[in-house]
Amino acid sequence: METLDVPSVLRQLPVNLLFKKCGEDRIYSSDGFQQFFGANASSRLDDSSIAFYDPISKAPLEADANPFVLGETGGALCLWVRLKTNLFTFNCLVESKVVNLEDGNWIVLYVRNNADELSGGSNLSSVGKHLSFHQLLTNCSSKLINASECEVKTIIDQTLAAFGEFGNIDRCYMFEFSNDRTFMTNTHEWVAAGVTPYISELQNMPTSDMPYFMDHIQEGMFKVDDVSKIPDCAAAEREEFMREHICSILCVRIMVGGTLYGFVGCDIIGSPYKWQSYDVEYLERIGEILGNTLQNLVNRKAIANMQDALLDANKRLEHLANIDGLTEIPNRRVFDTTLSKQIELSRAKSTPLALLLVDADAFKLYNDNYGHVAGDDALKQIAKSLSNSCIGKDDLAARYGGEEFAVILPGVSKDEVHKIATRILRNIRRLGIFHEYSAHQSVLTVSIGMACLLDGKDSPTQLVQRADEALYRAKSAGKNCAHF
């Protein structure tokens, strides 16, 4: 009686089996397994290429973690794995059984390629698949609605991973175009266990190198069931896809604000795959979600930029409202407000407060003889000197009007006021602004009226009036001096 070869018998079974003899390394596959997963006369599955990975961690299942070893040593096995061969990679459920035959024990793995086989009916499987996808879509959408820019990057990665695992895809990714659409960059990539990532290589790629792809993606979609059949007019692109071991590719565009922003895509590695209508629909929905999310980010950035611009404009307006346009020191409006506040503080804390009114001497003669441009320049120099001469943190030097300035000196006693006024007189003389009609060494000088708050009883108007009267006395005393 002829003895049957065990591998030949198991190989002929019309079911999805992987098997090997206990204690040996060689793995065999059944014809049913070969046919179900894409092998044909021109593309045969190589049993020696079979490898197992953890579908979550992507770690290779080797040594004691290998399903064959687990099935041989631990009894019946039921385990989800990522199975990789030279033709394909996919998530599958493997169940094991040890078979005792004449030539020894054989460990047999029954491979189920997806959960559909477990659901017990194609209609139910189809409904279940759609329900699963919509649940995935809901989860991704809820995370992306109010996500910040930093959070969006992580959630996009999670979305691509979820879609890749859901669709049993080998690689899922997103590309962004430069503003002028001359370059594209791989910004996000998920790969299944055992699949080579290429994100680091696909940065700032010239779109001119992929005209065939660009023509299609600008219309909305690039769908290729068999990369080897891309026409010769796009031979360079075909070679690039094949270099990345891509056999089937599906990409859909991402639109933001009515403009092509980029695309989201997925690849099948190993053997060609005919993309189904639901594959296209699912990826288009993912593309829409990403486009809406990116549009929300653009809108939020635009609003934030508008708010920043409004704040800057308000600051500029406030500056213009509070700063004298010529001398660039605080104007009369700021002086009036500050004087009222400082008088209130002085009353509340029982602290001294002084006011100086400073007026340029013989300034009309200066303007008449040297012109208004020179006069304006002189006022700028006086303003700068006043600001530098007041060294208290709450001191304020402001332009009061015309050639007249005011200085508020909180917390300054009568003796200290006179010292500050003397310093101001000296510093302005040292400017050396030539004034032929000045009675003091032919340089521009100022006169100063000084007033101190009397027991906190003065109103702002009364304090200014007393300083103005003191200024008149300084002018009458020959100018270039300070008087109370």
Backbone φ/ψ region at 149: left (φ over 0), alpha (ψ -120 to 50), beta: alpha
Please report which confidence band the pLDDT of residue 118 belongs to, taking 50, 70 and 90 as the band edges: very low
Q: Which of 72, 189, 237, 403 is catalytic?
A: 403
User: How many helices and strands (H and E) does the chain possess?
Assistant: 14, 17
- CATH code for the part of the protein at 6-113: 3.30.450.20
Residue-wise pLDDT tens digits, 425-461:
999 999 999 999 888 889 999 999 999 998 767 899 9
What pLDDT shows up at residue 239?
Answer: 93
Q: What is the pLDDT of residue 318?
A: 79
Of the given ranges (58-62, 116-120, 145-149, 186-190), which has the lowest mean pLDDT? 116-120
Looking at residue 50, its pLDDT comes to: 87
How long, in residues, is the chain? 484
Mean predicted confidence (pLDDT) in 144-171: 83
403 is catalytic: yes
Task: Name the H helices within 323-391.
Answer: 332-349, 363-370, 372-389
Selection from 205, 196, 208, 209 nearest residue 243 by Cα: 196
Kindly report the three-state secondary structure assignment for every residue of 167-210. CCCCEEEEEEECCCCCEEEEEEEEECCCCCCCCCCCCCEEHHHC
Tens digit of each residue's pLDDT (9 = 90 or more) over 41-93: 666 778 788 888 887 777 889 888 899 988 888 767 888 888 888 777 778 88
- Distance CA(395)–CA(247), nearest Å, equals 77
- Is the CB of residue 90 less than 8 Å from the CB of residue 83? yes
Pairwise CA distance, residues 385 & 428, whole Å: 7
The domain ranges of the chain are 6-113, 119-300, 332-483
pLDDT at 421 over 50: yes
Structure token digits, residue 399: 């332009």
What angle is formed at CA 421 by the lines to CA 390 and CA 330, rounded to 5 degrees?
40
Residue 258, phi-psi category: left (phi > 0), alpha (psi -120 to 50), beta (remainder): left
4: confidence class by pLDDT, cuts 50, 70, 90 = low
Q: Which range, 126-135, 136-145, 324-333, is most confident?
A: 324-333
Query: SS3 for 443?
Result: strand
Residue 268 is inside which H or E element, if any? strand 259-269
Of residues 43, 104, 51, 97, the one with CA closest to residue 70: 97
Report CA 310 to chain centroid distance, whole Å: 22
Q: Which fold has domain 332-483?
A: Alpha-Beta Plaits (3.30.70)
State mean pLDDT over 307-326. Answer: 85
Kindly indicate the confidence band of residue 115, based on its pLDDT and cuts at 50, 70 and 90. Answer: very low
**Spatial separation of the C-alpha atoms in residues 15 and 36, rounded to whole Å:** 9
**Whole-model pTM above 0.85?**
no
Confidence of residue 116 (pLDDT cuts 50, 70, 90): very low
| pLDDT of 385 above 90 | yes
Measured from the Cβ of residue 115, the count of other Cβ atoms closer than 10 Å reads: 15
Rounded Cα gap, residues 126 and 277, in angstroms: 13
- Residue 7 pLDDT > 60: yes
One fold for 6-113 and 119-300: yes
| Average pLDDT score over the chain | 86
CATH for 119-300 is 3.30.450.40
pLDDT in tens, 166-220: 888 899 999 999 999 999 999 999 998 888 899 999 999 999 999 999 999 999 9
Cβ atoms within 10 Å, residue 6: 17
- Of all residues in the chain, the percent with pLDDT exceeding 70 is 92
pLDDT at residue number 456: 63
Buried/exposed 342-362: b ≥16 CB within 10 Å, e otherwise: bbeebeeeeebbbbbbbbbbb
